[in-house]
Amino acid sequence: MAKTQILVVEDEEALATLLDYNLTKEGFKVKIANDGEEALLNIEENQPDLVILDWMLPSISGIEICKRLRSKSETQNIPVIMLTARSEEADRIRGLETGADDYLTKPFSTAELIARTRAVLRRIRPALVDDKVVYGNIILDRTSHRVNRDDKEIHLGPTEFKLLEHLIQHPGRVFSREQLLNAVWGSDVFVEIRTVDVHIGRLRKALNKYKQGDPIRTVRSAGYALDKPTAS
C-alpha cells in the first residue's frame, strides 16, 4: 500500500523533528517545511495527502496558507490540521472557518496528533486508511488483494493493482506518467515512461472486461485520471 504522505509545516525545529519521527514510525511518509513559502512549493510539487500546519510561521502565516489551499481546485480538498499556541475559543473558530479540518493547541501529545490525523483521514480521505475502498461500482480490497466491479471479480496483476489503488486514493485527479511512475514503481527504479501506458492499458482492459465502461480518462499531454465508475 502506498504510504500516506504528510507535510508538516513547522518552524520550531525540535517540534518538526519530533513530529517527523513519530509520524514516520506510524507508517506515514513525512516531509517538513520550515516556513510558508517552502510549504506552498512543496504542496504544489508533491500534493501531500494531509498537511499539519503551524499557525505562527515566518513570512506567510498558517491561516494564509490554509486560505490559499482552499481557494484552488487542485488543493482545496487536502485535509489540514492546524497547530497553534493560542488556546482562545475565538482563534479556534477562526481556524476552522478558514477551512482547517481539525485544530490542536500546543502543547499536545504526539499520540493525540496521530489519533487526530487518522480521524481526519478517515473522515475526509477514507480510501487512504480503510482496508476496503469503494469507488462507484468498484471495490478494492487491500487485505485480500481483490477487486470487484459490481458483482464481478476483476483480475489484476500486481502493478495494475497498485496503479488502481493509487488512482482510487485520489479520485478524479490527473496524474502525469512521471507521477504514476514514482508512485507505483518508485523513484529509484529506472522504468521507461511508456511502461506506464502499457500498464494503464492493461488496467483499462481488465476494468472494462464486462463492458461496464472505461473509468480511466486520458488527459492529452497531461496524463491519466480515474473518474467515478458507474454501472452501465
Give 220's DSSP letter.
T
165 contributes a contact to Ca ion by CB under 5 A: no
56 contributes a contact to Ca ion by CB under 5 A: yes
* CA distances (Å), origin 137, targets 1, 88, 149, 151, 207: 21, 45, 5, 9, 11
* CA distances (Å), origin 158, targets 33, 52, 146, 150, 215: 34, 32, 11, 21, 19
Q: Residues 198-217: x/- map of binding to Ca ion (CB under 5 A)?
A: --------------------
Residue 105 CB, shortest distance to Ca ion, in Å, is: 13
Q: Residues 26-55: x/- map of binding to Ca ion (CB under 5 A)?
A: ----------------------------x-
How many residues are listed for the chain in this entry?
Answer: 232
Residue 74 CB, shortest distance to Ca ion, in Å, is: 26
Identify which of residues 12 and 150 has a Cβ nearer to Ca ion in the complex.
12
> Left if phi > 0, otherwise alpha if psi is -120 to 50, otherwise beta: which for 136?
left
Residue 155 CB, shortest distance to Ca ion, in Å, is: 50
Question: Which one of 5, 11, 64, 124 is in contact with Ca ion (CB under 5 A)?
Answer: 11
Sequence-separated (6 or more) residues with CB below 8 Å from residue 215: 136, 138, 207, 226, 227, 228, 229
Residue 82 CB, shortest distance to Ca ion, in Å, is: 11
Q: Which stretch binds Ca ion (CB under 5 A): 5-13, 94-102, 131-139, 210-218?
A: 5-13
Identify which of residues 56 and 191 has a Cβ nearer to Ca ion in the complex.
56
160 contributes a contact to Ca ion by CB under 5 A: no
How many of the chain's residues bind Ca ion (CB under 5 A)?
A: 3
Identify which of residues 9 and 200 has a Cβ nearer to Ca ion in the complex.
9
Residues in a beta bridge with 134: 139
Q: Which three cell numbers stand for residue 173?
A: 485527479
Nearest C-alpha neighbor of 22 from the set 8, 2, 11: 8
Identify which of residues 8 and 138 has a Cβ nearer to Ca ion in the complex.
8
Q: How far apart are CA 176 and CA 180, in angstroms?
A: 6
Task: Say how many C-beta atoms besides its own lie within 10 A of residue 73's C-beta.
Answer: 6
Identify which of residues 6 and 8 has a Cβ nearer to Ca ion in the complex.
8
Interacting residue ranges for Ca ion, rule: CB under 5 A: 11, 54, 56
